Amino acid sequence: MRYGMAIGAVAALFLAGCTQAEQSDPLAGRWVDLTHELAEDSVFWPTAEDYRHEEVMHGHTDGGWFYSSYNIALSEHGGTHLDAPIHFAEGAETADQVPLERLVGPAAVIDVSAASESDRDYRFGKADITGWEEDHGRLPDGAIVLFRTGFSKFWPDREKYMGTALRGEKGVAELHFPGLSEGAARFLAEERKVAAVGLDTPSLDYGQSEDFIVHRILLARNIPGFENVTNLDQLPASGAYVIALPTKIKDGSGAPLRIVALVPDEI
Contact assessment for residue 111 and residue 135, using Cβ atoms and an 8 Å cutoff = no
Angle at 162 between CA 248 and CA 45, to 5 degrees: 40
Handedness of CA 221, 101, 32, 80 (dihedral sign): positive
pLDDT value, residue 4: 45
pTM for this entry? 0.90
Q: For 148-175, what is each residue's pLDDT tens digit?
A: 999 999 999 999 999 999 999 999 999 9
Nearest to 104 by CA among 265, 220, 260: 260
What is d(CA 106, CA 241) in angstroms, rounded to the nearest whole number? Answer: 4
pLDDT value, residue 23: 60
Question: Which CATH homologous superfamily contains domain 30-50+76-263?
Answer: Putative cyclase (3.50.30.50)
pLDDT value, residue 257: 98
